[in-house]
Amino acid sequence: MKEKIIIFDTTLRDGEQSPGASLNIYEKIEIAHQLAKLNVDVIEAGFPVSSPAQFDAVHAISSEVDKIIAGLCRANEKDIDSAFKALQPAKHKRIHTFTSTSDFHILGKFGHEKYGVSLEDKRKTILKMTSDSVAYAKSLCEDVEYSAEDAGRTDIGYLAEVIEAAIEAGANVVNIPDTTGYTFPTEFGNKIKELKRRVKNIDKAVISVHCHNDLGLAVANSIASIENGARQIECTVNGIGERAGNASLEEIVMALKVRGDIVNFDTDINTREIYNTSRLVSGFTGILVQRNKAIVGENAFAHESGIHQDGMLKNRDTYEIMTPELVGYPNTKIILGRHSGRHGLKARLNQLGYEVSEEKLIKLYEKFTKLADKKKEVFDNDLRILMGDTITEKDEFYSLDHLQITSGSKTIPTAVVKIKIEDQIIQESAIGDGPIDAVFNAIERALSIHPEVESYNVRSVTSGRQALGEVLLRIRSNSISFTGRGVSTDVIEASALAYLSALNKKNAHFKLNEKFNKENELTKVG
Ligand code: KIV
Ligand code: ZN
C-alpha cells in the first residue's frame, strides 16, 4: 500500500500570476471543474482581498466545486476576513495565510521601524504576526494552512521557531515554499528533514512544499521533499506561475507513478485527465506548452528517428516509459467534419472532458458547422478553441459584426469595422501601416478609445492549410493589462476578435469594480 501525497493545485492562484495570464471568472470556473475531474485534493482558487474579480472567482468556485477550496491571504484580519467570506459557500474551506521569514524578505519588506529596529526585533514581530494571524484564522475556520514565504532562503533555526509557533496557534498544514526557486534538491530535502527533527509539534501538521522553477529544479525539489517527509505538494498545471513558474503537477504525479518501483508514494490523480487539463489551461491562459515539455508537450510521445520507430514497432517498452493513454494523450487526430451531427460533437466534447448543456450545445454546433464549412477536418484542438470561445463570450459587451479589409503590395491598407454594442451597431473605417494596424485604428475610432497594445502574437493552433490562427494580445489601460484572444481561419479577423476580447475583459473588470465600490459605499452608509 502506497502512502498518499496530497495534491494542492494552485493554477488559479500562483498560476494566474504568470506574466501575461489573466483568466475571467467563467474560465476559472471551467478550470476548477476540470481540476475536480482530475481529482486534485485542494484547489487554491485565488487571493480574495486582492481584487473584486479574485473575490468573486473564489466565491463562485466555492459554491460550485466539491473539493477543499483554499483562499490565500496575508497575515492580517482584513485579508483573512475577506478570504473567509469568499470561501463561505464551500463545503470544505481552507484559509491559507503567510508571512515572510527570510532575512531578505524581512529586511526588504519590513524595513520600517514600526516592525522593530534590529533584525532580531523584526524577526520577533514576524513571529508574533504569524501566531496571531493563524490563531485568528483558526477562530473562523477549522482548516488553516500557514506558509513561510521564502523558506528556501530562511535560516533553519528561525524557520523551525516560526513553524512551531504556527502549529501551536492552530495550523494543520505548514507549507515550506522555495519562493525564489533557489535551492538544490539535496539542500531542500535536508531542510524538510531538519524541520522534522527540530519542530517538536511537527506531527500535528501536514508538511507541504511549494517550489518555484527559477533554476529548473522545482519538480526535483518537490520529490526530494517527499522523500524527506513532505506529504502535500503545491503545484500547477503545465508548471505555470510567477516568473519561471511552479512545480508542474503532471511531472510530479507521473514521476511518482512511473517510478513506483523505487518510491512508496502515489497520488489520487486521475492521470487520464492530465492532457485535457493541460490543453484547457493553456487555451484559457494563452500560455503555450513548449513542444518538448515532459508529459504534455506535442513531442512527449513522438518518436522521430528510424531506430526508435523500429524499436517501438517491435516493443513499446524500448523507448516508452509510460503510455500516452495513461495521461489521456489523444490517439485519434482527425475526428469530426461537416457531416458530423450534434450527437457526435457532444460525444467527442465529453471525451475531451467538457460537460455541455443542451443550450450550450446548440450554440456550439452552430459555430462548429461554420468552422467545418471552412475546414474539411475538425481536430480536437479546434474543438477546444470553440469551447474556449463560448466561455469567453459570457463577458461579451462588444462583438464584431462585420470586417472588411483592403490590402496589397501597392495599396494603403484600409479597414472597415462594424461593432455591435447591445442593440447598436457602430461603423468606422481607418487606414494603417498594415492591415492589422488599420483594423485596430478602426476599432479605436469606433469606440473612441486609445489603449496601448503592449504585445501581439499570432500562431497556428491546428494543422493543415486551413489551420486556425490564434492571436494573443495584451492591452494596457489605466495602468492595468488585459489579455485578449481571437481565433479564426483568417488571422486579420482573429486580430480584431482578440482586440475586442481584451476590451471586453477590461469592460467586465471596471464594471465589477464599480459594483464592488458601490456595495462598499452602501455598507459604509448603513
Ligand atoms: O511562492 C510563494 O512563497 C507563495 C506563497 C504565498 C505560498 O506563493
Ligand atoms: Zn509561489
* CATH code of the domain covering residue 464: 3.30.160.270
User: Minimum mean pLDDT among 22-36, 98-112, 145-159, 507-521: which range?
Assistant: 507-521
Flag whether 461 is in a domain.
yes
Structure confidence at residue 525 as a pLDDT band (50, 70, 90): very low
pLDDT of 143 strictly over 80: yes
Is 234 in the same domain as 100?
yes
Average pLDDT, the chain: 91
Domain count, the chain: 3
Q: What is the mean pLDDT of residues 221-234?
A: 98
Question: Is residue 324 included in any domain, yes or no?
Answer: no
pLDDT value of position 105: 97
List, for residues 74-98, the tens digit of each pLDDT value.
999 999 999 999 999 999 999 999 9
Residue 216 zone, left/alpha/beta (φ > 0; ψ -120 to 50; rest): left
Strand, coil or helix: what is 256? helix
- Quick one: 346 and 443 in the same domain? no
Shortest-distance atom of ligand 1 to CA 14? 8
Q: How confident is the model at residue 331 (pLDDT cuts 50, 70, 90)?
A: low
Residue 334 pLDDT > 60, yes or no?
Answer: no
Between 347 and 46, the more confident residue is 46
Q: How many CB atoms lie within 10 A of CB 113?
A: 9
Question: Is residue 386 in a domain?
Answer: yes
* Residue 179 and residue 30 share a domain: yes
Q: Is the pLDDT of residue 3 over 90?
A: yes
- Percent of the chain's residues with pLDDT above 70: 94
End residue of a domain, out of 392, 423, 455: 392
- Least confidently predicted of 184-198, 226-240, 387-401: 387-401
Q: Are residues 383 and 402 in the same domain?
A: no
| Strand-strand pairing, 3-4 and 206-211 | unpaired
Residues 247 and 374 grouped into a single domain:
no
**Mean pLDDT computed over 318-334:** 81
Maximum Cα–Cα distance for the chain, whole Å? 78
The 10s digit of each residue's pLDDT in 365-423 is 998 998 888 777 787 778 877 887 666 666 679 999 999 999 999 999 999 999 999 88
- Mean pLDDT confidence for 122-150: 98
Candidate of 207, 212, 243, 246 to mutate for ligand 1, largest count of ligand atoms within 8 Å of Cβ = 212
Contact at 8 Å (CB) between 336 and 378?
Answer: yes
Looking at the chain, the whole-number percentage of residues with pLDDT higher than 90 is 67
| CB 210 near ligand 1, within 6 Å | yes
pLDDT at 524: 39
For residues 245 and 476, the model is more confident at 245
CA of 272 relative to ligand 2 center, distance in Å: 27
Min mean pLDDT across 84-98, 230-244, 275-289, 456-470 is at 456-470
Please report, as a single letter, which amino acid is at residue 363. Answer: K
The CATH number of the domain holding residue 7 is 3.20.20.70
CA atoms within 13 A on the CB side of 207: 25
Picking from 186, 192, 257, the residue whose alpha carbon sits closest to that of residue 220 is: 186
Write the DSSP string, 176-219.
Answer: EEETT----HHHHHHHHHHHHHH-TTGGGSEEEEEEB-TTS-HH
Q: Is 283 a residue whose pLDDT tops 50?
A: yes
| pLDDT value for 257 | 98
If you measure from the C-alpha of residue 73 to the centroid of ligand 1, how many angstroms do you get, rounded to a whole number?
Answer: 11
**110 in the same domain as 18:** yes
Same domain, 361 and 421: no
Pairing of strands 68-74, 414-421: unpaired
Provide mean pLDDT across the span 465-477.
84
pLDDT value for 185:
98
20 and 167, same domain (yes or no) = yes
Residue pair 127/165 in contact (Cβ under 8 Å)? The answer is: yes
Phi, psi (deg, nearest 5) at residue 488: -165, 165
Statement to judge: residues 504 and 375 lie in one domain: no
Q: Do residue 501 and residue 353 come from a single domain? A: no
| Count of Cβ atoms closer than 10 Å to residue 153 Cβ | 16
Range with the largest mean pLDDT of 279-283, 299-303, 514-518: 279-283
In a domain, residue 203? The reply is yes
Higher pLDDT, 207 or 486: 207
What is residue 97's three-state secondary structure?
A: strand
Sorted by sequence, the CB contacts under 8 Å of residue 213 that are 6+ apart come out as: 181, 219, 239, 241, 243, 244, 245, 246, 247, 248
Flag whether 294 is in a domain.
no
Give tens-digit pLDDT for 159-176.
999 999 999 999 999 999
Check residue 492 and give its pLDDT. 97
Report the atom number in ligand 1 closest to the C-alpha of 17: 8
Residue among 180, 120, 117, 171 nearest 147 (CA):
171
- CA 15/CA 364 separation, integer angstroms: 28
Structural domain contains residue 326: no
**Partners of 72 in the beta sheet?**
96
Relative orientation angle of helices 218-227 and 185-198, to the nearest 10 degrees: 40
The pLDDT of residue 483: 80
Is residue 75 one of the residues assigned to a domain? yes
The CB of 392 under 6 Å from ligand 1? The reply is no
Based on the domain organization, do 362 and 454 belong to the same domain?
no
Query: For residue 302, what are the contacts with CB-CB under 8 A and spacing of at least 6?
Result: none
Domain boundary among 248, 268, 285: 285
Q: What is the pLDDT of residue 512?
A: 72
Q: Is the pLDDT of residue 149 over 90?
A: yes
Per residue in 375-389, is it b (16+ CB within 10 Å) or e — as a string? bebbbbbbbbbbbbb
Indicate if ligand 1 lies below 6 Å from the C-beta of 145.
no
| Cα–Cα distance, 250 to 50 (Å, whole number) | 28
Residues 6+ apart with CB under 8 A from 181: 152, 211, 212, 213, 214, 215, 217, 218, 243, 244
What residue owns the CA closest to ligand 1's atom 2?
Answer: 179
- 20-55: pLDDT as tens digits: 777 889 889 999 999 999 999 999 999 999 999 999
Q: Do 375 and 429 sit in the same domain of this protein? A: no
Inside any domain, residue 522: no
Statement: residue 291 has pLDDT above 60: yes
The residue ranking higher by pLDDT, 307 or 484, is 484
By residue count, the chain amounts to 526
Domain range spanning residue 346? 342-392
Which numbered ligand comes closest to the C-alpha of 47? 1
From CA 262, how far away is CA 256, in angstroms rounded?
A: 9
**Residue 466 pLDDT > 80, yes or no?**
no
